[in-house]
Amino acid sequence: MRPLARTATAALCTVTALGPTAACDTFFDDARSAAPYARLTGPEVVNKALAATRGAKSVRMTVETTSPEGPVEAFVATDVRGECTVTLSMGAAGTMELVRTGGTVYTLSDAAMLHSAPASQARKLTGRWVKPATGDRHAKLAERYCDRETFLGLLAPKSGTAHKGRATAPGSGTPAMTVTGGTDDGKWTADIATDGRPFLLKLRLPRSGAGHGTDPVTVDFSAFDKPFTAAKPKT
């Protein structure tokens, strides 16, 4: 909004005896959106967040979704070199640890995660670090979570529907703006940092496309640019 137009709108909202109007609500929402995003559209804010989050040297993610096997929760640390660690829990299906370092993947599974394997193989593999078999679908899912683009790529095509919301402070406590949008899949929301670089802090999508394809997903992003070590496990 141009300066003169903003002044006129503010004056109208102040003197009108008819109470708040849609125009007044829009004006004050825009004013409250403040620096650094006051002059940006919703799609522009989302695109800045995508660029900043993609550019982070490292990031940690907490992923929550569901699958036919029950609730899914993953704790991920990953960096631009491809180094990655994942702890993946899949309801009654069990838990898997994954480490990717130097381009090689290693996994450690509990007995529940190996329930579909032959009994002799399950006994041999339970609690041991191994290089997973090519067709191990749980290992494939866990490794897919190593790539932040698995989730950022789901938001990117929806950015054109973005509308700026009000200030918030998600679980991280970092000042943020909530941006919302909607597609045929439903409503999505994203919390974007307003202090420092415009990192994406929280993403909620009605349909994930990640893992099992149609389940809602929530991703918390944190620890941007903080180094970590993906140590090669003893096999």
pLDDT of residue 157: 93
DSSP code string of the chain: --HHHHHHHHHHHHH-SS---HHHHHHHHHHHHHHHHTTS-HHHHHHHHHHHHHH-SEEEEEEEEEETTEEEEEEEEEETTS-EEEEEEEGGG-EEEEEEETTEEEEEE-TTTTTTS-HHHHHHHTT-EEPPPTT-HHHHHHHHTT-THHHHHHHGGGGGG-EEEEEE--TT---EEEEEEEETTEEEEEEEE-SSS--EEEEEESS--SSSSSS-EEEEEE-TT-----PPPP-
Residue range 220-232: average pLDDT? 94
Bigger pLDDT: 28 vs 81: 81
pLDDT of residue 227: 87
pLDDT of residue 209: 54
Whether 180 and 168 have beta carbons less than 8 Å apart is answered as: no
pLDDT of residue 68: 78
CA nearest neighbour of 73 among 82, 61, 65:
65
Bigger pLDDT: 201 vs 119: 201
- The C-alpha atoms of residue 230 and residue 87 are separated, in whole angstroms, by 12
Whether 185 and 213 have beta carbons less than 8 Å apart is answered as: no
pLDDT digits (tens, 9 = 90+) for 5-58: 444 444 434 444 344 433 443 444 444 444 579 999 999 999 999 999 999 999
pLDDT of residue 35: 58
In the predicted model, is pLDDT for residue 215 greater than 80? yes
Give Cβ neighbours of residue 202 (< 8 Å, ≥ 6 apart): 170, 171, 176, 189, 190, 191, 218, 219, 220, 221
Percent of the chain with pLDDT over 70: 78
